[in-house]
Amino acid sequence: MRATLGFLTRIPIGKGASIEEIASSSYLFPVAALAIALPLTLLSYLLFRYLDGAIAAIFTLIALYLFTGLLHLDGVADFFDGMMAGGGKERRIRAMKDANIGIAGLFASFVILISNFIAIKGASEFIYPALLIAEVSAKLGMNTCMIAGRRFEPGWGTGALFIESCTPVRYLTALACSFIIVSAATFFMPHTFVIGMFSLCIGITLSTIVSIMGAIKFGTVSGDMMGAANEITRTAVLLIWAIFMV
């Protein structure tokens, strides 16, 4: 778990762990989401209590990325740069692996950030459990990309290690952990249980779509796609809470 937290956050723990060790424990991503979401939720609650809604939302968003880093947001940029590149698979892969961010990646990152800001502000009355469930759904989305990636051609880099390590049993473990966490988070608010379960379904669905699009455009599923699935799922789930829990 220490290695998982060190990988998913900027917490200086488990830094000596190999990428193979982190990949083998990736089924614990939804559990690690608790360590991300709980302090963030408490901070956000205090911000919304004492500050204007827009200011509280922007500080919550800044805190999220200060805590988790920009690795997965970079995955969004790389994924959409590759998706929008012309030519064949090889050219799209080069665009995705290019260290420079193109206009497609920049626009996609902007949409993710502004959507998160709007969603956090809109879901302020249910910041708990919205932030927690969004983070768990996002991490389950990454696990979904891993298990879906086993159906396609082997990829490259660290993404391939995560896909190789994600067995059906480990994925079902991640799914069960996510279900338990969401059930516990909504236990004292039964009216939020359905939207919590719907959030998990949204994460699974969107991540499957990302995987299929990756297979079509690139022939494989990569780490950038997992990062993109994380960010897209979190954003979508927060928007759902902002829309349906008004």
**What pLDDT shows up at residue 215?**
87
Instruction: Give the residues of the chain that fall short of pLDDT 50.
Output: none
**What pLDDT shows up at residue 62?**
97
**What pLDDT shows up at residue 51?**
95
Q: Quote the distance between the C-alpha of residue 49 and its chain's center.
A: 27
Contact status, residue 186 vs residue 130, Cβ threshold 8 Å = no
**What pLDDT shows up at residue 86?**
77
Token reading at 78: 């790389």
- What lies within 8 Å, CB to CB, of 29 at 6+ separation is 4, 8, 139, 140, 142, 143, 174
Q: How many CB atoms lie within 10 A of CB 125?
A: 11
Residue spans per domain, the chain: 2-244
Token reading at 42: 């408490």
What letter does residue 246 receive in the DSSP assignment? -
**104-112: long-range contacts at Cβ-Cβ below 8 A with a sequence spacing of 24 or more?**
104/80, 105/76, 105/77, 105/78, 105/79, 105/80, 105/81, 106/77, 107/80, 108/76, 108/77, 108/79, 108/80, 109/73, 109/76, 109/77, 112/73, 112/76, 112/231, 112/232, 112/235
